[in-house]
Amino acid sequence: MKPVLTNSMTNSEESKHGLGLAQIKQLKTELTRFMMSYKFALDELNTKIDILKQEFQYIHDYNPIEHVKSRVKSPESILNKVYRKGYDLSLSAIKKNIKDIAGIRITCSFIKDIYELSNMLQSQQDLEVLEVKDYIENPKPNGYQSLHLILQVPVFMSDRVENVCIEVQIRTIAMDFWASLEHKIYYKYNKAVPERLKNELKEAAVTAAQLDKKMESIHQEMSAIKDASHSHNVEKLQINDETFTLPYDLLKPFMNK
Ligand code: 0O2
């Protein structure tokens, strides 16, 4: 495809779309600023998630977040969605209608962590929660499970504040395994998945949910054993040159074990 904008074009010349060079330059600047605002919003939210992750590790002695992946939708995929949904082709309409241009997927160890993390994000004062879809409590008919949040993040630019939407998907490793395989199958069969495979996928989703419950109950049992063994213990606390001997339970909330 030939580039629309060429260096040899003068201000008075028009592209094949009837736009002058100045208009094309302006369009290019607007588009770049538009896409950049999503990247900046993701940077902000990624930092927030990293802070929560480190704090959680410090307080609870384990890391509830297995991994975090973020992406800005490609312009091609944004345009596909505009045509598929019949939205207006303007930046303001795209911003208003497409809430998943920026997306973050967080994989947690346990279901309990998903809700804890979601509550922590939802209670941050500078984030506005626009939508919550709980596909864990109410899985999709095909078996899909995840917690989806649409959050609005203020991005402080040089001359203005942009409120930018981000779709956050929070799921367990088992849910993520299921969703990525289902996504591959869906595309392999060009969205016409045979009925037998659909049923098997649904069964696999139920099995994945059972595995999540089982792993969580093992984890809870292990934590209870760990707490019980510590509760008989005392810890030595040194403040300046003085050493204090205190029950472990009293110090636990303040300790990085
Ligand atoms: P991609 O490539 O992951 O971005 P909408 O977003 O408005 O088109 P909807 O149904 O209102 O549609 O949004 P919803 O339910 O919040 O789902 C949006 C995203 O969740 C999808 O984005 C997928 O990432 C994921 N998702 C939802 N349902 C399924 C499912 O059945 N299987 C799998 N594997 N993923 C799902 P995109 O834009 O479809 O794709």
User: Encoding tokens for residue 216?
Assistant: 């969580």
CA of 107 to the centre of ligand 1 (A): 16
Taking phi first (over 0 means left), then psi (-120 to 50 degrees means alpha), and beta for anything else, what does residue 190 get?
A: left
Between residues 16 and 194, the one the model is more confident about: 194
Q: Tell whether ligand 1 has an atom less than 6 A from the beta carbon of residue 182.
A: yes
29 — pLDDT class (breaks 50, 70, 90): confident
Active-site pick, 14, 162, 167, 216: 167
pLDDT of residue 16: 60
Please give the number of the atom of ligand 1 that sits closest to the Cα of 71. Answer: 4
Q: Given this model, what pLDDT does residue 191 score? A: 75
Quote the CA–CA distance of 146 and 138 in Å, as a whole number: 9
Q: How far apart are CA 124 and CA 81, in angstroms?
A: 30
Cβ burial of 48 (10 Å; 0-12, 13-18, 19+) is middle
Q: How many whole angstroms from 42 Cα to the centroid of ligand 1?
A: 18
